[in-house]
Structure 1
């Protein structure tokens, strides 16, 4: 059966940000004899750099080819170090891909931000995987490079593409047949549309790609390789005395991802849960360490308090202009406007005549949404906030982290305490 012995690996940008990182990836892959599908993200901060290039392109007065040249140089330097300056690889495939970006910028007439985003930013993954694939093959790890757009099919909801599972299953079974290759390497984050354009499936979506492919191929498990030892109860860059969670249920992982934990992409769990495919989060720095196992569990696993900080938040309060009660009709109207502008709601509070929401700050969507809402509501908002979540809270933990903070909105349930408050340095 196709499912026997297939493992899906995902390596993020931090794991391939340098030549040393690419070599380490090869070392990790070499440990395994099973059939592998390897999903790789853009190198380092390439996605951020391409987003800046995109923003400058849409403001015609700011874009300059020097920005592309600097990004190309970063990748070429990695290639030179990997191949000791003896490969002409950088003069071929890399140059070709950067030329394609420049040609798109010069020829494109469509100024829709989401469309342009997907056609430009997707090159980060394409370039990264081309380099990693070339290196793996140079050290006798026979890895077949696959363009993810040929196996994952999406609609044209650019930046938030909806994957067509039926079409993706058909194409993936043909491509990943393991008849002549044991290892396949492809891109996270991107898919192909029926119109031969590129769609991305959500920022930081490479985890999601790995989960989808695992679902389609009936993989035995998925491993996300990170720069930490597993899923921790807090970000070690923000908090001291963190601890690793050895086991996390699918349900808990969904809750953590929804609250803003960046260790796993929010959409990752469903494709795995549907087929009860376990997920491992392990360290590419210390691959022998046990890591965290995310799995189906009917038993409530005991966990310590988990601290999650979601930055760049905006608190919006809406009051009907006629001071009518906030009832179902008003809520439907509000959510329809938010959906129209792709504004994601992280927390909700309602009173008799005021409806408050905490949302991600997104300069491309939020301003237009607020203007639409102002037609029927008095709108007040605060920016530069953070959403601080404590899963499995205790009164002592709340006292430790919240007592001296300015809190604008709070919410307590049986197992989760959430606070919208001024952003603080940690």
Structure 2
């Protein structure tokens, strides 16, 4: 078997019928086989499935059923545009998954996180099955179930890959010189239950397949020219980064650069597999390549904004100092509940955490902490990170903001703030 290519297409690249046709056109540009194509849920379908989970958590069966019908209608609209005659096997698979979803929204004793994974992963199943069926009308294409390939622990919503079993399964499955379609974001635990690898985890799925197959590259197809030094929807005068070292990409992903999932880089770095970020709008453009280069080209500051944050301040009720065992207990709770901490600062008497403000998880964490700590909770917070900053960048980007917390290192500055 020759060295495979691994492509990843996100939700924006398969958001409608014309976008799916564009995916076929891109694949046809590359005759290399085998090729593994990782596909996310279509458009904003992950958000739609999350609304189903939210309705289930609130015991709103009518709301969940209505949301599921909207999801089915969305996908059927795309299928109608793509196919003159819908393949019978596609209809059969989709009917089974919709039936499964109808059962899943019934009352059950599953935890929120397990139910999240059980429901939300269907977005990837449905998306890849539709795209594979359409591509197969032009190019021989096989559909593989990633749940049988990526083996994880049972930490729902943030599962950890078990590399040994995953390597064996992927190597055995990808043998022929064809195009294989697999789902991003998902896997299964030792009991066979579906798991997910974390929000936006399809990039990481691509890295897992690239690593296990010894691919010559992983290409992530986006709706931007490549990796910019900031989100052009948020920051002005952004610049294309042509080449970026693995180590710097890891730092940017860690701080929240949305173009790369934080776990994506390390498997690629270990085997020296280049990561290419290219535009599905202009597939001839070279985009960005992430390699073992010594420095970025060009060398520019990087700007990252995370919205929907909250500040949680804790202090002891007995006026004691915040000690290691206090922090250990707090972080243990965060780990159990799946809280994401993006910045932390502690003094002798107070610890302050900047968190993703998850509407389901954070209230449960606050309730658990209240018996042992005094708490102050501030919502409507955003987090700005500037890497390789200078003072003019800081002054320009923070003008008019109410800064709640600030943290600096020689390379990076972060501001938790509210808008006036």
Question: Normalization by structure 1: what TM-score?
Answer: 0.94
Shift of 1:84: 3.5
Which residue does the alignment assign to 1:130?
129
CA-to-aligned-CA distance 1:315-348 (integer Å, 9 cap, x gap): 1111112222223222222222222222111111
The answer to whether the 8 Å contact 2:227/2:259 transfers is yes
Moved more, 340-349 or 124-133: 340-349
Task: Give runs of aligned pairs for residues 41-52 of structure 1, distance below 5 A.
Answer: 41-52=40-51
| Structure 2 portions without partners, runs of 5+ | none
Which residue does the alignment assign to 1:83?
83
User: Residue 249 of structure 2 is aligned with which of 253, 259, 270?
Assistant: 253
Task: Give runs of aligned pairs for residues 58-73 of structure 1, distance below 5 A.
Answer: 58-64=57-63, 65-73=65-73
Shift of 1:60: 2.5
Q: Whole-Å Cα distance in 1 between the matches of residues 296 and 83 of structure 2?
A: 50
The answer to whether the 8 Å contact 1:79/1:90 transfers is no
Q: Whole-Å Cα distance in 2 between the matches of residues 66 and 223 of structure 1?
A: 37
Which residue does the alignment assign to 2:120?
121
Shift of 1:300: 6.6
The 3-state SS of whatever aligns with 1:63 is helix
Which residue does the alignment assign to 1:105?
105
User: Residue 323 of structure 1 is aligned with which of 294, 319, 324?
Assistant: 319
Which residue does the alignment assign to 2:204?
208
Task: Give runs of aligned pairs for residues 153-232 of structure 1, distance below 5 A.
Answer: 153-178=151-176, 181-232=177-228
Count of residue correspondences: 418
Moved more, 85-94 or 293-302: 85-94
The answer to whether the 8 Å contact 1:317/1:356 transfers is yes
Question: Normalization by structure 2: what TM-score?
Answer: 0.95
Shift of 1:19: 0.3
Moved more, 340-349 or 222-231: 340-349
The answer to whether the 8 Å contact 2:79/2:86 transfers is no
The 3-state SS of whatever aligns with 1:311 is strand
Which residue does the alignment assign to 1:147?
145
User: Residue 417 of structure 2 is aligned with which of 409, 413, 421?
Assistant: 421
The 3-state SS of whatever aligns with 1:152 is coil
Matched, 1:341 2:337: yes
Shift of 1:89: 6.3
Q: 1:277 to 1:86 in 2, by over 3 A?
A: closer
User: Residue 14 of structure 2 is aligned with which of 10, 13, 16?
Assistant: 16
Q: Whole-Å Cα distance in 2 between the matches of residues 423 and 276 of structure 1?
A: 42
Q: Whole-Å Cα distance in 1 between the matches of residues 248 and 352 of structure 2?
A: 26
Q: Whole-Å Cα distance in 2 between the matches of residues 78 and 385 of structure 1?
A: 37
Q: 1:338 to 1:70 in 2, by over 3 A?
A: closer
Q: Whole-Å Cα distance in 2 between the matches of residues 63 and 157 of structure 1?
A: 29
Matched, 1:290 2:286: yes
Shift of 1:417: 1.1
CA-to-aligned-CA distance 1:178-198 (integer Å, 9 cap, x gap): 2xx321111001112221211
The answer to whether the 8 Å contact 2:242/2:298 transfers is no
Which residue does the alignment assign to 1:270?
266
Matched, 1:240 2:236: yes
The answer to whether the 8 Å contact 1:58/1:111 transfers is no
Q: Whole-Å Cα distance in 2 between the matches of residues 297 and 76 of structure 1?
A: 45
The answer to whether the 8 Å contact 1:279/1:295 transfers is yes
The 3-state SS of whatever aligns with 1:138 is coil
Shift of 1:85: 5.6
Q: Whole-Å Cα distance in 1 between the matches of residues 336 and 137 of structure 2?
A: 48
Q: Whole-Å Cα distance in 2 between the matches of residues 61 and 207 of structure 1?
A: 33
Shift of 1:38: 0.4
Q: Whole-Å Cα distance in 2 between the matches of residues 240 and 177 of structure 1?
A: 46
Which residue does the alignment assign to 1:57?
56
The answer to whether the 8 Å contact 1:326/1:351 transfers is yes
CA-to-aligned-CA distance 1:242-265 (integer Å, 9 cap, x gap): 111101111111111111110000
